[in-house]
């Protein structure tokens, strides 16, 4: 799971995924774009786009179909479904396997979060709150255990005398 977050952490890759998602929603039924079209839409160099598409492909986030000399890329949402289910467990809105899919309205919000939209701040705050609560509980438990340890050690010492 950590590797896919590294892949999604890159803004150029998120832009590529967002462009492919936009194509799927508002464009052709198969949602495909060629490298040339991606270069034109994003204003990046062809080597840059190809490098990032390769990384996305390695992690199953895009697939490629060859049509003559053209390589046509499209968004593959299953890895994003896995992330969505995983994140859903932390924010308590969904049980495992019950999360809405990325193709639905909730999925669009999740994708917006990954692409840096305002929804990302909300999701980030919720994850941070959950992490903070977990740390507070763990620290409290650790303090309770540490408070009992000296007494346990003292009793054992007295028993051996």
**pLDDT tens per residue, range 87-105:** 888 887 544 455 444 444 4
* pLDDT tens string 22-35: 998 887 768 899 99
Per-chain mean pLDDT for the chain: 76
Tell me the C-alpha distance between 150 and 84, whole Å: 44
| Coil, helix or strand at residue 32 | coil
62-67 vs 33-34, strand pairing mode: unpaired
Q: Are 128 and 120 in contact (CB under 8 A)?
A: no
* pLDDT tens string 5-16: 899 999 999 999
Q: Are 61 and 76 in contact (CB under 8 A)?
A: yes
Structure tokens at 9: 């952490």
* pLDDT tens string 57-77: 999 999 999 989 989 999 998
**114 vs 29, which has greater pLDDT?**
29
Instruction: Scan for tokens 């992690």, then name that residue.
Output: 59
User: What's residue 94's pLDDT?
Assistant: 46
Other C-beta atoms lying within 10 Å of the C-beta of residue 79: 18
52 Cβ neighbours under 8 A, 6+ residues apart? 10, 12, 13, 16
Q: Are 114 and 8 in contact (CB under 8 A)?
A: yes
User: What's residue 45's pLDDT?
Assistant: 95
Give the predicted TM-score (pTM) of the model.
0.57
Delineate the domains of the chain, giving CATH numbers in brackets. 2-114 (1.10.10.10)
Interior CA angle at 58 toward 109 and 78, to 5°? 35
């Amino acid at each position: 799971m950590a590797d896919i977050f590294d892949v999604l952490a890159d803004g150029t890759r998120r832009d590529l995924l967002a462009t492919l998602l936009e194509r799927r929603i508002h464009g052709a039924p198969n949602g495909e774009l060629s490298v040339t079209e991606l270069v034109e839409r994003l204003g990046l160099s062809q080597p840059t786009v190809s490098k990032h598409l390769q990384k996305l492909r390695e992690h199953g986030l895009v697939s490629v179909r060859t049509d003559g000399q053209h390589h046509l890329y499209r968004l593959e949402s299953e890895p994003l479904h896995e992330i969505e289910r995983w994140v859903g467990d932390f924010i308590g809105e969904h049980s495992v396997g019950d999360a809405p899919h990325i193709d639905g309205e909730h999925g669009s919000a999740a994708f917006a979060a990954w692409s840096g939209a305002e929804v990302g701040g909300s999701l980030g705050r919720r994850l941070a709150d959950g992490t903070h609560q977990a740390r507070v509980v763990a620290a409290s438990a650790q303090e309770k255990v540490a408070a009992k340890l000296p007494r346990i050690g003292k009793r054992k010492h007295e028993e051996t005398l």
